[in-house]
Chain A
Amino acid sequence: MSRPVFGTAEEGARPARLDRDRGLVEAARRDPAHFDALYRKYLAQVYSFAFYELRDHHAAEDATERVFMQALTGLPRFEERADSFVGTGGTAAEIPADASTFRVWLFRIARNVVANERRSDRRRPVAPLEHACDLAAADDIFESAAAREAGSAAWHAVARLPEDRRRAVVLRFVDEMSTAEIAEVLGRSEGAVRVLLHRALRSVAADLRGRLS
């Protein structure tokens, strides 16, 4: 049973925002068969994170599978913490409306699983980035080509970033996490994440400009 979540007196006795997944988490705790709703909700996000990190569909599938298996078996140990975002430097007012501590918890698992995967598969060659860029819809051939080109350039630029910056960028742009959530996932302060993202964008800009010129 998760503990009640209410704001502290310093926050004006305003109740903190509840985990938006609270209902789903509680249902899954009562009956693990209901974990399916959480799984469907976050499958693409977790898979994308793994895919952008590992750059291989099969490796991403393996990692995704492990993440959800661990999440399901570890769900009884999951503890909702509404103050987790405040603890990283944010205030209650800055907690994003769509914040979810379950999502943060899930991505922490994903981060560990991906790190283990990368460690164990150092010798395995990664798939060429071009394969990973084959994502655009084929409705409009010109739009598709342009999207593919843009995606390819972005991919290459992101792939060249240092690991911590790349993770922050993927969590921000692909998984649409707030700075507070990224900080929780990466175990960094919000200020550090802001700087990571800012520097990552400058690096990407320099990279893309270099390509264009």
Chain B
Amino acid sequence: MLGGASRDARRTERYLDGLMEAEERGAAEAPMDLDLDPAVLFAARELRAGLIRVHPSFRFEEGLAARLGQIGGGTQDGRGEQPAPVRAPASVAPFRTPGVAAPATPAVPAGHSAARDGLATPAAPRRLSLAARPSRPLVVGGVGVASAAISIGAVYVAWRWSRASQTPMVRAVRAARSGRAYASGHGRRAGVLHGILGVMS
């Protein structure tokens, strides 16, 4: 003997089956079940209309197909062998100098170079493209720019400090602020800064 909940659940199931069959047939009208809770009917129709099957990108589809093909070939050659992990362990990305070709990434299938794909959407190519990029611009480029800016700033400050001010008033103010004799202080600073400038140049 079915309980009330089970009976309603079975009725709901039959309605859902009918709803989907009607769609497959291309029928305009969905089946009606007057005994079924109207709230359930309403929700079923809303979900049927709103929940769409999603397809991944074409790039992902083809990229994964190529990787599966590679693994399939390997599996056929050596039955029972586990394929190489798709998520490759972290490795050092080599810098690519101008005129030197980047080393081939073994996991990238033929015809799927990360450089050609750009920012590839497939999962593994996406990871591979990060590893295959020539110079990790966000990290390496950022440090380079920062150090260059610091160097330029140091050179400018050194130049400003080593350059004797043209007006006597400025020289007097500097001497009074430092509380030291202008000539000796200027000479010491100038010596140090000239040393820095020598190193920088």
Contact = CB atoms under 8 A, between A and B. Distances in A.
Contacts of A170: 51
A128 B20 CA distance: 29
B29 interface: no
Instruction: Kindly state the interface size class of chain B when it binds its partner.
Output: 35 or more
B86 A72 contact: no
Interface in B96-131: 121-124, 126
Interface in A30-73: 31-33, 35-36, 39-40, 43-45, 47-48, 51-52, 57-58, 60-62, 64-66, 68-69, 72-73
A72 B80 CA distance: 11
Contacts of A33: 69, 72-73, 76
B49 interface: yes
Given A65-B64, A197-B13, A48 B54 contact: yes
Contact of A69 (B13, B17, B68): B68
A76 B72 CA distance: 12
Contact of B12 (A57, A154, A197): A197
B48 interface: yes
Interface in B146-191: none
B64 A72 contact: no
Interface residues of A, number: 58
Contacts of B5: 195, 198
B90 interface: no
B53 A45 contact: yes
A92 interface: no
A153 B50 contact: yes
Interface stretch (A2-10, A13-21, A173-181): A173-181
Contacts of A35: 68, 72
A146 B39 CA distance: 21
Contacts of A43: 55-56, 61, 64
A61 B62 CA distance: 12
B117 to A, nearest CB: 14
Contacts of B121: 61
A165 B108 CA distance: 39
A151 B48 CA distance: 10
B2 to A, nearest CB: 9
Contacts of B67: 65, 69
A91 B72 CA distance: 37
A72 B13 contact: no
B9 interface: yes
Nearest to B82: A73
Interface of B: 5-6, 8-10, 12-13, 16-17, 20, 37, 39-40, 42-44, 46-56, 60-61, 64-65, 67-69, 71-73, 75-76, 79-80, 82-83, 86, 121-124, 126
5 contacts: A32-B72, A44-B54, A194-B13, A198-B13, A201-B40
